[in-house]
Amino acid sequence: MATEVTVPVLGESITEATLGEWLKQPGEAVAVDEPIASLETDKVSVEVPSPVAGVMGQHAVAVGDTVQVGAMLATIDAGDGAAAAPAAAAPAPAPAPAAAPAGGEGGAGYGDQPGTSASDAPAAGDSPAALSPSVRRAVLEHGVDPSTVKGTGRDGRITKEDVTAAASSKPAAAPAAAPAAAAAPAAASGRPEERVRMTRLRQTIAKRLKEAQNTAAMLTTFNDVDMTAVIEARAKYKDLFEKKHGVRLGFMGFFVKAATMALKDIPSVNASIEGDDIVYHNYADISVAVSSPGGLVVPVIRDAQDLTVAGIEKTIGDFGKRAKDGTLKMDEMKGGTFTISNGGVFGSLMSTPIINPPQSAVLGLHRIEERPVVRDGQVVVRPMMYLALSYDHRLIDGREAVTFLVALKNAIEDPTRILIDL
């Protein structure tokens, strides 16, 4: 008897998703609540658990297909899986000898080479269908055999970083992988190209950012901040902080706390426009941009104005870990009133961040670098960072934007202000 697996309820107002990847292949044993597929929604990836234990049946949809809530994804056949899994794999040894030379060096089954099939893969977890689009792209680019890569992702899955690390550890493999590149799809000019469908998350990001540009009267103002005091405080207390709170003391805790204070002084930066009304939020729900395998996501620190620096760092640390694992929840991505994006971790010197609607402002942080500045008539070297505030000029005046940045700058350059709420 087979049990149908359907698309679960994905969240308020979300009616469809895109099948990102299959985590279980037909014939594999499945435990109760074990993830069998990953769905991409407008905000996050959602794993679909198996409702019963048994053996993975047939897939009803393919990777990249759009599915509606309640639609059937696959079936789970009855059985303990122990006997069924080898049975499903039994035909594999027959074609294996003939398929082995056909695959070539570094990537059997990853091009359009004739003679390759899913049965050529050394393990179901390393088959093309089990790899995310970004990992498949990295495998093609670096000519790495996924069967030789040890996965560090969730449930041992291979990540893009794993592929990159494997490629860098085998410099001699690059020349051998070059012939395989010739099999990649080529443009009319004869030069290789690859066409990859946009993920649903990337499509949503593109649509929302363009919407922000078309709707808001965006302007960016800049300032710079001397990070000396925060760096010294962090160096002095980071060990004690981590020992007491179980999380590292970073810079974001200081900036989020300083931002909540500045937002209280300049409420329009924390407001939003709804029709002909201005909505002033008497709380600070801070969206923080964190990296995930599918791109940047912006989970929300709720009521950040009531949290300590330690509480903020714990929340951000938890977001970062779960973003990497793909376990962030839909509700955690909604309702922010102000966004902080730290491009400095990637080396950005200066940028003009784009507003995240319906918010009216976003703060961009950048890399810290030593620069000559004048202090008390003397030229000295200080660790400086550029700050950028992009804002909707329909709601926020230039004076308010500059005042906000100055208040933030003062709090960071003198962290005691954060302690005494000044």
Q: Please tell me whether residues 172 and 226 are part of one structural domain.
A: no
Picking from 151, 181, 211, the residue at the C-terminal end of a domain is 181
Is 324 a member of any domain? yes
Q: Please tell me whether residues 176 and 273 are part of one structural domain.
A: no
Q: Please tell me whether residues 271 and 151 are part of one structural domain.
A: no
**Does residue 245 carry a catalytic annotation?**
no
Is 194 a member of any domain? no
Is 193 a member of any domain? no
Q: For the domain that residue 162 is a member of, what is the CATH number?
A: 2.40.50.100
- Which pLDDT tens digits describe the chain residue by residue (422 residues)? 688 888 888 766 677 788 878 888 888 888 888 888 888 776 667 788 888 888 888 888 888 788 888 888 888 888 765 444 444 444 444 444 444 333 333 333 333 433 333 333 334 444 544 566 667 667 767 777 777 887 877 667 787 778 778 877 765 444 444 444 444 555 566 788 888 877 777 777 788 778 888 888 999 999 999 999 999 999 999 999 999 999 999 999 999 999 999 999 999 999 999 989 999 999 999 999 887 776 678 899 999 999 999 999 999 999 988 888 878 887 888 889 999 999 888 889 999 999 988 899 999 999 999 999 999 999 999 999 999 999 999 999 999 999 999 999 999 999 988 887 77
Which among 42, 325, 393, 414 is annotated as catalytic?
393
Choose among 59, 55, 56, 57: nearest CA to 19. Answer: 59
Is 142 a member of any domain? yes
Total domains in the fold of the chain: 2
- The CB-side HSE value for 327 (13 A sphere, CA atoms) comes to 11
Q: For the domain that residue 393 is a member of, what is the CATH number?
A: 3.30.559.10
Q: 69: domain range?
A: 2-181
Q: Which amino acid, residue 303? A: D
Q: Please tell me whether residues 149 and 260 are part of one structural domain.
A: no
d(CA 415, CA 413): 6
Q: Please tell me whether residues 8 and 91 are part of one structural domain.
A: yes
Whether the CB-CB separation of 388 and 352 falls below 8 Å is answered with: yes
d(CA 265, CA 405): 11
Q: In this predicted structure, what is the pLDDT of residue 365?
A: 95
Q: In this predicted structure, what is the pLDDT of residue 259?
A: 96
Q: Please tell me whether residues 318 and 234 are part of one structural domain.
A: yes
Query: What are the start-end ranges of the E strands in 70-158?
Result: 72-77
d(CA 410, CA 18): 46
Query: What is the H or E stretch that residue 124 is in?
Result: none
Picking from 113, 146, 181, the residue at the C-terminal end of a domain is 181
Q: Please tell me whether residues 276 and 160 are part of one structural domain.
A: no
Is 74 a member of any domain? yes
**Does residue 393 carry a catalytic annotation?**
yes
Q: In this predicted structure, what is the pLDDT of residue 200?
A: 73
Is 195 a member of any domain? no
206-245 burial by CB neighbour count: b if 16+ within 10 A, else e?
A: eeeeeebeeebebebbebbbbbeebeeebeeeeeebeeeb
Is 209 a member of any domain? yes
Ramachandran angles phi, psi of 160, nearest 5°: -60, -40
Q: Please tell me whether residues 247 and 331 are part of one structural domain.
A: yes
Picking from 135, 151, 181, the residue at the C-terminal end of a domain is 181
Q: Please tell me whether residues 161 and 258 are part of one structural domain.
A: no
Q: Please tell me whether residues 88 and 237 are part of one structural domain.
A: no
Q: Please tell me whether residues 140 and 225 are part of one structural domain.
A: no
Which residues have a Cβ under 8 Å from the Cβ of 254 and sit 6 or more positions away?
230, 309, 411, 412, 415, 418
Which among 303, 397, 414, 421 is annotated as catalytic?
397
Q: Please tell me whether residues 164 and 116 are part of one structural domain.
A: yes
Total-model pTM: 0.61
Ramachandran angles phi, psi of 68, nearest 5°: -95, 155
Is 170 a member of any domain? yes
Q: In this predicted structure, what is the pLDDT of residue 356?
A: 87
d(CA 63, CA 156): 20
Q: In this predicted structure, what is the pLDDT of residue 133?
A: 60
